[in-house]
Chain A
Amino acid sequence: MADSNVAISSQSNSAPAGNTRPNAEQIDRLRERAEFVRLETLRLIQIAKVGHYSSVFSCAEILAVLYYDAMRLRHGEPHWPGRDRFLMGKGHAAVGLYPLLVDWGFFPAEVLDEYTRLGNPLGDHPDRRKVPGVDFSSGSIGHALSAGLGMVLGARLQKHDFDVYVLLGDGEMQEGQVWEAAISAATHKAQNLIAIIDRNGFQLDGRVDDVNPIEPLADKWRAFGWEVHSVDGHDVAAAATLFRQLKVDEKRAAPACVIAKTVKGKGVRYMETDPGWHLGYLAPEDEGRAAAEIRSSRRTP
């Protein structure tokens, strides 16, 4: 177990910070949390012997900003009805989510050590039936935005005001159900629904722009009636500032889409340059090199 997990355990995220930028201390902490996601991902995939390193690395800062700045959560209360929801359309990045759920006290840390072993609740894809803190299961690409929309619609009837964050892969844009949900969410003015697209540019068979291009992406979402924002998905200060703005924007009548420009495999140079790392397994010496590079890149971004 990484020491950082024990050292920096959050009790709750600060009260809504309004239209402000995070301060230097907050920025440092968010960057440390992104590093934590990457290091824990390395460790867990060594247990499973195969996993999606680079899919997690592209969204490590997004996960850190959501779980340690944007989202309203209560430590140790994964089923608190008022919590903000997080859904992972790109479910194959769940290995990066589990350590955060442990850090929030949603299930014991020891469970991580048996990641993917027989009977363990943690698999390659997040499972709400088995894992406290997973708000919705995923795995089959394209369902999550519909589920998030349903949560917003249910919340209206139940008089809850939580926000629902749905992290989507950019390859996921090729799924038809995403656009069914996009139309419906605009129809129902689901302003508490926030889609985040991890625009890392790659899918299994190659570059998204070669396999089945999805641009102009921002124009598509705008045309579907969404409010669209773009952000550098590795700049925790910029991302936190944007999510803080979205949190307090009472005037928004439409769902919001955040296109996060990211680098697949971010933090480990040979993964950034080789899309073959979508799925893989590191020899122990390579794991050590990757960890060292991740640590040094936080110190010198």
Chain B
Amino acid sequence: MTTLSAESWQYRQLNARAPGLSYLSNALIELVEKGYPVVVGSADLQYSNGLVRFAQRYPERFIQFGISEQNMVTAAAGMATTGVTPFVATFASFLALLCCEQIRTDVAYSALPVRLIGHHAGISLGFYGTSHHATEDLAIMRSIADLTVVAPADGPQLAAAIRASVDWPQPIYFRIGRGQEPVVYEDSADFRFGEAVVHGRGDELTIIACGTMVHPARTAFDVLRKDGHSVGLIDMHTIKPLDRVAVLSAAKGTRIILTVEEHNIVGGLGGAVAELLAENSSPARLVRHGIIDEYSLIAPPTHLYRHYRMDAAGIESVAREALQQSTAS
């Protein structure tokens, strides 16, 4: 078993680089302490996802699968048949794309309560390139029946979602970032699957964001409000089941819905909202913001967020353009 001292290079790197990921291990440790039969699997990424903390605390509950992601996901399904609750983690790109069939057939169709942690989602792996980017995972996972899809905004919300998951019967895909996201919520974050967090309502424009985009969207929301715009903000942390009431009630009272996700605008949060608005003949105009159906360039993540207008200033400018178009027409 791994022994890694708190003074070691890896450990210090881990804490310095990805404080948000400590919530993952800590929440899982908390579940074990409360008596839940948690078992954690990793595929050679325990330093990237911080699960080394869990591994050191509960080595008998940590299973190292090495670089065998498909094997890990199917084995998690097998473990779940014995009554344990497996949490298995790897990069979101590998989980959603490489292990798509295992997730669909062995986990979701088999109705086994496996928890899949797709970390470093979106373009947060920056210059690692397209193989490591996940801008399709929400679309893929959302089309799998009986699978819950969640994209927490930060560490505290992830921890709250993990705490809430003990009563959730379906398998869950947790889509998280790289652990460097600024905190949106306090540690006492409340979380209910399928119930969006409404930060504010507005009649000109409502931003619906998820995951890593909630923090920059909130900054943009604050700036626009200070400028006198009537803007709303919804954190749609659960992509499936989508909070239909939150979307439709916002659409009733606002002229523009702006979805923001670190994902292709096809099939993810924007796609889910578009389907709902179309089916309900909503008069609200929809603008989907994210990666516009292309493969991301490589660059450090912060440079990419700026380039693709997925930082606070970029989201604000997209919102202003939508507002201007709306006024002009």
Q: Which residues of A237-283 have CB atoms within 8 Å of chain B's CB atoms?
A: none
Whole-angstrom distance between the Cβ of B71 and the nearest chain A Cβ: 4
- Report chain B residues within 8 Å CB of A176: 70
Size bracket of the B interface: 20 to 34
Interface of chain A, main secondary structure = helix
Whether the Cβ atoms of B75 and A129 lie closer than 8 Å is: no
Q: Which residues of B43-63 have CB atoms within 8 Å of chain A's CB atoms?
A: 60-61, 63
- What separation, in Å, do the CA atoms of A262 and B47 have in the docked complex? 47
- What separation, in Å, do the CA atoms of A151 and B84 have in the docked complex? 10
- Report chain A residues within 8 Å CB of B81: 128, 135-136, 147, 150-151, 154
Size bracket of the A interface: 20 to 34
- Report chain B residues within 8 Å CB of A150: 74-81, 86
Q: Which residues of A164-208 have CB atoms within 8 Å of chain B's CB atoms?
A: 176-177, 180-181, 183-184, 187-188
Whole-angstrom distance between the Cβ of B223 and the nearest chain A Cβ: 49
Stretch at the interface among B15-23, B106-114, B228-236, B258-266: B106-114
Are A155 and B106 also in contact (CB < 8 A) when A146-B70, A146-B74, A177-B70 are? Answer: no
Are A147 and B84 also in contact (CB < 8 A) when A153-B39, A153-B75, A184-B66 are? Answer: no
Q: Which residue of A lies closest to B64 (CB)?
A: A187
Are A155 and B82 also in contact (CB < 8 A) when A177-B70, A184-B75 are? Answer: yes
- Report if A158 contacts B (CB, 8 A): yes
Whether the Cβ atoms of B60 and A181 lie closer than 8 Å is: no
Q: Which residue of B lies closest to A181 (CB)?
A: B71
- What separation, in Å, do the CA atoms of A149 and B75 have in the docked complex? 6
- Report if A52 contacts B (CB, 8 A): no
- Report chain B residues within 8 Å CB of A105: none
| 7 further contact pairs, Cβ within 8 A, besides A157-B61, A158-B83, A177-B70 | A140-B105, A147-B78, A153-B79, A154-B79, A180-B71, A184-B65, A187-B66
- Report if B195 contacts A (CB, 8 A): no
- Report chain A residues within 8 Å CB of B63: 153, 188
- Report chain A residues within 8 Å CB of B13: none
> A-side interface residues toward B, CB under 8 Å?
81, 128-129, 135-137, 139-140, 143, 146-151, 153-155, 157-158, 160, 176-177, 180-181, 183-184, 187-188
Whether the Cβ atoms of A177 and B111 lie closer than 8 Å is: no
Q: Which residues of B101-121 have CB atoms within 8 Å of chain A's CB atoms?
A: 101-102, 105-106, 109-111
Ranked 7 nearest A-B pairs via Cβ: A150-B78, A154-B82, A150-B75, A146-B74, A180-B68, A180-B71, A154-B79
